[in-house]
Copies of this chain bind each other. A is one copy, B any other.
Amino acid sequence: MLTDHKNVRITAGYWREKADLNRDVTMNAVYDRFHESGRIDAFRCDWKEGKPNRPHFFWDSDVAKWMEGAAYILGQEENPALEEKVEALIDEIEKNQGEDGYFNIYFTVVEPEKRWSNRDCHELYCAGHLMEAACAYYNATGRGRFLSVMEKYADYIAKVFTVEHSAAFNTPGHEEIELALYKMYKTTGKEKYLDLMKYFLETRGQPDNKESQIFGEAHYAQSHAPIREQHEAYGHSVRAMYLYSAMADLAAETGDKELLAACRDLFEDVTERKMYITGGIGSTNIGEAFTIAYDLPNAHAYTETCASIGLMFFANRMFRADPVRSSKYADIVELEMYNGALSGLSLDGEKFFYENPLEIRLRDRQRITATHDREHWPITQRVRIFGCSCCPPNINRLLPALGDYFYGWDEEEGAVYVNQFGTSEFTLGDVKVTQTTGYPMDGTVKITSNVPVYVRIPGWCGRFFKADRTHVTANGYARFEPGEFTVTFEMKPMLVSANVEAVNNIGKAALRYGPFIYCAEGADNGDDVHTLFFDRAMISMAKAEYSTFFGAPVITLPGLRIKSMTRALYAPLDEQYEYAPLRMIPYAAFANRGECDMLVWLNVR
C-alpha cells in the first residue's frame, strides 16, 4: 500500500487554496518569526553567553519542520526564494556538523558538555526532524547533500546508542526519530536505519533500561511498557502519536501481527474514548496529555494542534498497515483536516493556536481568586509565534503533503483508494485517477479511473450516499470498476451527540455538516452563546450557505435562548425560551473575528 503526495496533484478547491495560503503566506510568516526569534541564525552555531536569543534545545526541530514543508513545496514547483533559504540552512548544518556526525545547536553552543545526558532534552527528537527534512529535500530535488549529512548523523547515533551505549538514556524522551529513521530507510534503502528504528522502538518500556522518567512518570513518554503491551493511550499526546505512527510503520513493514494488534487497540482507544468531536486529543494541559476514557472537558481542552496532526500521521499509517482497509482511518484524517488540525491556523494564514478549546466563555477568564488564579486557560486568539513553536511549522509541512492522505495505491490488487475528496489527480505509471468535485461545499464527486477504485463513504454520511454506477461496499468503501462515475454524499446539517460516558456533554449536541463540525460564536449570536439551545424540532430548517469570508459553508437554523424569569439566583423550575436564530461557523474558523465566546456543544431542547 503506497500513499505518496508526489503521485498526487491537488488542482483546485478547498485544499488547493489552503496549500496556496501556506506556500504564499504561512511559510513566510513562520520563517520570519523564526528569523526574528533567532532560530534561523542559531544554525550558525556561534551563539555565546551574553548574546541575545539563547538557543532552546528544541529550536532545531522547529526549523527542520519548516524545511520539510519547504521541500514538499519545492517538489511540486520551482521556488528559488524558498530554495535559497533552505540551502542556506543546509550550508550551516553541514558546516557545523561535528567530525563524528553530531549536529545539535543547543548542545553545541549552550551546554556542549551535556551531550546525550538528559533524556528530556529533545536531542533525538531534533535529529529526527532534521532527518525527515533531509529525506523530503532529497525526494523533492534529488540533491543528496542534506541527506548525506543526516546519514552521517544517523550512523553516529547508531554507534552511541547501539554499540557504545554511552548516552545517559537509551530511548528518546520525545519520540520522533523512530518514524524519521523509517523514512531514512525508505529513502536510502539502507536496512541499518530500519534496524536503528527497531532498536529505539523495541527498547522502549523494557524493564531495567536507562529510561529516566520525565516528571518522574513513565507514562508521560510512553515508557511504561514495551510497545506490544501498550493498548491504551497514555501521556503526552504528541509524543504518543509519533510513537504510535512509528509502531504502525514497523507493523506495515514487517507484518508483525502482535504489533498491529497493539496499534489497533491504541487507535481505538484514542478515537473511540479519548478524542473530542473536533478530532482534538489531549484533555489536560498538565503534561499536555491524555487522561482517562471519556474525560473531555470543553473549556479546558488542551487539544494541541500538533497532536491532531500527529493523529493524522497515525491514522494514515494505520490505513497502510492494517490489511482490513477500514474507512475509519481516513474518516479520522478527514475529521482532523477540516477541524482539529486546521483550527491551528488563522484564515489569513499568519497566526496559530497551540491549544484548540471547544468552549470559550470570556466571563470565566475574569474569575478572580484571592490568591491569584492558578487555573490554566487556553488562549482565545491565535498568535504569530510561541515560545515553544512546534505547531506552526507542523502546519507548514502538513499542507503541501496532503496528497499523502488523498489516495492509496493497493499494489496487490492494482486498485486505488480514494480517501479524501477534492479536485485532484493521482498518477502512478500508467495508473491515473482524477476527481472533480465541489467538496466540501457539496457532496458530489466525479471520478475517472483506469483501474478499480475504492471510494471512501464518509462516516458522517452513513448510508446516505448514491452512485450512478454499480458498486459493492465493504469496510466503509464502495468499490467501482474502472471508468467514469459520480458518487454523491448527502450533506445536511445534523446534530451529533456524545456517548453518555462523556457526562459533561449529556443533554447537549454538536452540529455537523459534511466533514465540518460547527461552533456558535458570540460574533454571530450575541453575548452569551451559553444560553442558546438547539431545537430538535427545527433541525430540518437548517440551511447551509457558502461564506466567502470562511471559504466554507455557514449554517443558519432556528434555535432557542433560555431566559431567567427573575433575577433570583434560584427559583422554581419554569423554563422560558425565546426564539433565537443561530448562525454556526466551521469550528476550525473560530476566533478569526476578534475575541468572543464560542461553543461547540449546545444544549438541546
Q: List 7 A-B contacts (CB under 8 A).
A: A219-B370, A272-B567, A277-B570, A287-B369, A495-B572, A497-B570, A507-B533
The answer, yes or no, to whether A506 is at the interface (CB within 8 Å) is yes
> Quick one: closest B residue to A508, CB to CB?
B507
Judged by a CB distance under 8 angstroms, whether A396 is at the interface is no
In the assembled complex, A236 has its CB within 8 A of some CB on chain B: yes
**Known contacts A272-B569, A284-B373, A507-B533; 10 further A-B pairs (Cβ under 8 A):** A219-B370, A234-B370, A272-B568, A286-B375, A289-B370, A494-B572, A496-B571, A506-B562, A510-B570, A575-B604
In the complex, what distance in Å separates the CA atom of A530 from the CA atom of B217? 31
In the complex the two chains form, is A286's CB within 8 Å of B564's CB? no
Known: A370-B234, A370-B236. A509 touches B216 (CB 8 A): no
Residues of B within 8 A of A548 (CB): none
A387 to B530 Cα, complex, angstroms: 40
The answer on a CB contact under 8 Å between A220 and B371 is: yes
**B366 with A292: CB separation less than 8 A:** yes
Any chain B CB within 8 A of the CB of A109? no
- A198 on interface, CB distance cutoff 8 Å: no
In the complex, which residues 316-364 of chain A have their Cβ closer than 8 Å to any Cβ of chain B? 361, 363-364
A573 touching B370, Cβ below 8 Å: no
Interface assignment of A425: CB less than 8 Å from any CB of chain B: no
A295 touches B367 (CB 8 A): yes
A375 to B: closest C-beta gap in Å = 8
Tell me which residues across on chain B come within 8 A of A533, comparing CB atoms. Answer: 507
Over the window 198-239 of chain A, the binary record of Cβ atoms lying under 8 Å from chain B Cβ atoms (1 yes, 0 no) is: 000000000000000011110111000000000000111000
Task: Report chain B residues within 8 Å CB of A51.
Answer: none
Q: Smallest CB–CB gap between A333 and chain B, Å?
A: 16
Q: Are B500 and A531 in contact (CB under 8 A)?
A: yes
Query: Which residues between 556 and 583 of chain A lie within 8 Å of chain B, taking CB atoms?
Result: 562-564, 566-575
Chain B residues whose C-beta falls within 8 Å of the C-beta of A370 in the assembled complex: 214-215, 217, 219-221, 234-236, 286-287, 289-290
Judge whether A273 is part of the interface by a CB distance below 8 angstroms. yes
Across the interface, do A573 and B495 meet the contact criterion of CB distance under 8 Å? Answer: yes
Is A474 on the interface with B (CB-CB < 8 A)? no
Q: Which residues of B contact A373 (CB under 8 A)?
A: 284, 286
Contact B271 A367 (CB under 8 A): no
Residues 256-282 of chain A, each 1 if its beta carbon lies under 8 Å from chain B, else 0 = 000000000000000111010100000
Report the Cα distance A570→B572, complex, angstroms.
34
Which residue of chain B has the shortest Cβ distance to A511 in the bound complex?
B573
The proximity string for A residues 64-107 relative to B, scoring 1 for CB distances below 8 Å and 0 otherwise, is 00000000000000000000000000000000000000000000
Contacts of A510 in B (CB 8 A): 570
Given the interface contacts A284-B369, A370-B217, A370-B236, does A570 sit within 8 Å of B498 by beta carbon? yes
Contact status B371-A217, CB under 8 Å: yes
- Residues 288-321 of A contacting B (Cβ, < 8 Å): 289-292, 294-295
- Selected from B234, B567, B573, the residue in CB contact (under 8 A) with A536 is B573
Q: How far is the CB of A48 from chain B (nearest CB, A)?
A: 34
Interface status of A499 (Cβ within 8 A of chain B): yes
Q: Which of B287, B496, B509, B564 contacts A501 (CB 8 A)?
A: B564
**Chain A 514-555 against B: per-residue CB contact (8 Å), 1 yes, 0 no?**
000000000000001011010010000000000000000000
Question: Chain B nearest CB: distance from A290 CB in Å?
Answer: 8
Question: Does A441 interact with chain B (Cβ within 8 Å)?
Answer: no
Check A368 for interface membership: any CB of B closer than 8 A.
Answer: yes
**A603 an interface residue at 8 Å Cβ cutoff?**
yes
> Which 6 pairs across A and B sit closest by C-beta, in order of nearness?
A220-B370, A287-B370, A287-B371, A495-B573, A235-B370, A215-B371
Interface mask (A365-389 → B, CB under 8 Å = 1, otherwise 0)? 0111111111100000000000000
A518–B563 alpha-carbon span in the complex (Å): 24
Q: Give the CA-CA distance A215 to B372 in the complex, in Å.
A: 8
Once the chains are docked, how many angstroms separate the CA of A564 from the CA of B498? Answer: 8
Cα distance A508–B220 in the bound complex, in angstroms = 37
